């Protein structure tokens, strides 16, 4: 199998989806992640960190902009706790969070666009440098592509020096704190202080 010419799928059972609905979904979530969703495009997965108001990292996330919703790919083990943490920052916004049912997979290889079809979300996300995509589907059985099992995938990612959850960035494999600092330096409008509405929510919870 030649990844430089074809495409393979790796199912990521360690990842799961949160769906963010509502008219205010993009502006609201933009205040809680380090990636700039105001500049995001639907054709590409957007890596960032979900953070608390004080800047504490809650989880790595990949945000996908779909018509009518945002799909946020997160570590499966943290999905429910992350949902609960984010919902604390809902005040008057028209936003609703729900657990998504899609299976998460990563496509590797330049022919990843051949996987696009109705009911399947396929957006650019290149982990290995061969071309690739993040794939969200009700079932991987609807996709006509060979798959790598976990052992094959782990061998390949170790060979390529890729961690299990990788950001596509010139920052490479630097630590989370460095990446968080760089992202906020690049985005001067995004601060730990999320603005008046979030301040009100903080006051309501603390009683101050």
pLDDT digits (tens, 9 = 90+) for 118-165: 999 999 999 888 899 999 999 999 898 899 988 888 888 888 888 765
**How confident is the model at residue 169, as a pLDDT?**
36
Domain spans of the chain?
8-206
pLDDT digits (tens, 9 = 90+) for 66-95: 989 999 999 999 999 999 999 999 999 999
Report which of 52, 53, 60 is spatially closest to residue 77, judged by C-alpha positions.
60
pLDDT digits (tens, 9 = 90+) for 41-53: 999 999 999 998 7
pTM across the whole model: 0.76
Query: Does CATH number 3.40.50.740 belong to domain 8-206?
Result: no
């Amino acid at each position: 199998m030649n990844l430089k010419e074809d495409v393979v799928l790796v199912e990521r059972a360690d990842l799961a989806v949160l769906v963010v609905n509502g008219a205010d979904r993009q502006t609201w979530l933009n205040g809680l992640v380090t990636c700039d969703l105001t500049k995001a495009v639907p054709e590409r997965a957007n890596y960032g960190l979900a953070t608390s108001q004080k800047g504490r990292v809650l989880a790595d996330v990949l945000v996908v902009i779909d018509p009518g919703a945002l799909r946020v790919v997160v570590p499966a083990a943290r999905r429910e706790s992350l949902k609960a943490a984010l919902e604390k920052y809902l005040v008057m916004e028209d936003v609703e969070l729900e657990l998504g049912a899609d299976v998460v997979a990563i496509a590797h290889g330049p022919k990843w666009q051949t996987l696009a079809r109705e009911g399947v979300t396929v957006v650019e996300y290149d982990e290995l440098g061969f071309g690739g995509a993040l794939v969200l589907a009700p079932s991987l059985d609807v996709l006509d592509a060979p798959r790598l099992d976990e052992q094959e995938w782990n061998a390949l990612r170790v060979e390529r020096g890729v961690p299990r959850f990788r950001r596509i960035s010139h920052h490479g494999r630097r630590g989370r704190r460095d990446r968080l600092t760089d992202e906020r330096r690049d985005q001067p409008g995004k601060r730990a202080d999320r603005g008046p509405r979030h301040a009100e929510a903080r006051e309501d919870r603390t009683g101050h």
